[in-house]
Amino acid sequence: MSRPRAERTLLKEHWVLDPVSRRAGVATIEVHSGKVARLEWRDGVAEARRAFIEGAEPGPKDPTRLVLPALVDLHAHFRQPGAGASEDVASGEAAAAHGGYGAVALMPNSEPAADHPALLRELTRTTASRGVTLMPIAAATLGRAGRTLAPMAELAAAGAVAFSDDGSPIADPALFRSALITAGALDLPLIEHCEDPALTKGGEAADGLVATALGLRPWPAVGEISAVSRNIALLRDAIRDEPRARLHLTHLSTGAALDAVRVARAEGLPITCDVTPHHLSLTDAWIAGDQRWAWEYEDRHAPNLTPTADAYNTNLRVCPPLRDASDAAACRAALRDGTASAIATDHAPHSRERKEVEFGLAANGIAGIETALSTLLAARAAGELPLSLVAALLTTGPAAVLNRPALARGLAVGGPANLVVVDLGATWVPSRKTLIGRSINTPLLGKSLTGAVLLTLLNGEVAWKAE
């Protein structure tokens, strides 16, 4: 399906930030025939470069309309094939466009798992009526069962951008090492969900005050940390045989795991990691009904533990679980110091049937691709993350993890017009009416968010436009 091409789009005097060309400031952009036809910095290019370097942010007198290059997501679940009641490629793509995303890597947790070249081809052929680039991540092992390597070379030829058994960590260390080496020989990263299931079995909420008070089964931090440590040791060993082996750890949630990655990166190991918008902005106290942003605690260990009427909201059940304010702060610190080089949504839509159940029986996951940018803008407004960093973590950061710079080509005259326009002053409330994905399992339902996507252009065409 092709959309009518908007012949011309004029974005006059917007606040523009481009982490690729490294420029920021007020500019006018004209889009024509799918490309950026004109990009004029009001105060000149030199000033835009200086403003970027100095970390300029839009001030009160500046335009509230922000333009960024279209966003890139490393980690989403569009549930196709297998769970169309929760999401499919079409609804997921629409949700992505609403979130400002132009490229999305899809995890292989479908039914059946994306472990066969035909399945990957089918997925990329299904496409993409709005023009979002869909990038399949193939299963590392057959059926994501952790017993036999998937046909990685064939999967790479069919378009896999990475390998992962996301949601089912590869328990067997020898198999994990083989997966690293085999993926490395194909020059693709292995993406790992770090969890030791023997430690986290039955876990409902992060081990800590909230779980204790609410009687939820504890999911201890060490369940993540021990897996991270093991995987780093295996990576160190694997690169002796295959120097191109690369390991990316997804949705890290604990300060100690991020510390381990920091040390491994300092050592020079080929390791990267991401964190999610929810782990850096929410805490486990939300399960009790204490709905403050993670940075709003004066004392990081002083949540309100008395359950409110909204307590035990299953839209907060996620793996790894939400943690306390100090772990959320560690996620933001890791982004600031470069330990984590991308923000990934882990967009995990679930139908009502899988969420309108007892907390401990609910499916894990948050549908987050439509609220990611607003969440990060809240962190930015609180002084937690500078705007230029947010932009990089949502564009060049994930593109670098996949070693695909073409995913984030920035805003350049003559280049494809892939961009998102955000009204920094607009507030919106996530609800069944405002969200367009098939599932709305987000804890942000009913919360007022600042920063609304007005327009997503992909190759100059409207992928999403606010009414």
Partner 1 sequence: MPAAAAPHRHLLDVAGLSWSDLKLLLDTTEAARRILRSPAGRVDALKGVGVTTLFYEASTRTRISFENAAKALGANVNSATVASSSVGKGESLVDTMKTLRALGSNVIVLRHERAGAPWLAARVFDGSVLNAGDGWHAHPTQALLDLSVLLRNIGAEDGTLRGRRVAIIGDLLHSRVVRSNLHTLRAAGAAVRLAGPPALTRGFAEAAARSGGVTLCASLAEALEGADAVMALRIQRERLDDGEVSSLESYREAWGLTEERIAAHAARGCVVLHPGPMNEGVEIDPDVADGPRSLILEQVAEGIPVRMAALWRTVRGDAPLIVPATAKVNS
Residues that bind partner 1 (CB under 8 A): 204, 207-209, 211-218, 301, 305-307, 309, 311-312, 314, 353, 356-361
CA distance 288 to 212: 11
For 95, what's the count of Cα atoms within 13 Å in the CB-facing half-sphere? Answer: 34
Which residue, 155 or 348, is less far from partner 1 as judged by CB? 348
Residue 381 burial class via C-beta count within 10 angstroms: exposed 0-12, middle 13-18, buried 19 and up: middle
68 strand-pairing partners? 420
Closest approach of partner 1 to the CB of residue 44, in Å: 56
Closest approach of partner 1 to the CB of residue 90, in Å: 27
For 292, what's the count of Cα atoms within 13 Å in the CB-facing half-sphere? Answer: 18
Encoding tokens for residue 466? 């606010």
Closest approach of partner 1 to the CB of residue 374, in Å: 26
Nearest residue to 19 via CA among 347, 405, 461: 405
Which residue, 287 or 393, is less far from partner 1 as judged by CB? 287
Nearest residue to 339 via CA among 375, 384, 393: 393
Taken as a whole, the chain contains a residue count of 467
Which residue, 148 or 212, is less far from partner 1 as judged by CB? 212
Nearest residue to 23 via CA among 53, 2, 65: 53
Tokens 């004209």, residue located: 30
From the list 73, 196, 324, 346, the catalytic residue is 346
Closest approach of partner 1 to the CB of residue 310, in Å: 8
CA distance 14 to 256: 40
Closest approach of partner 1 to the CB of residue 260, in Å: 23
Which residue, 136 or 218, is less far from partner 1 as judged by CB? 218
165 is catalytic: no
Encoding tokens for residue 261? 């990655």
Which residue, 93 or 207, is less far from partner 1 as judged by CB? 207
445 touches 433 (CB < 8 A): no
Enumerate the active-site residues.
346
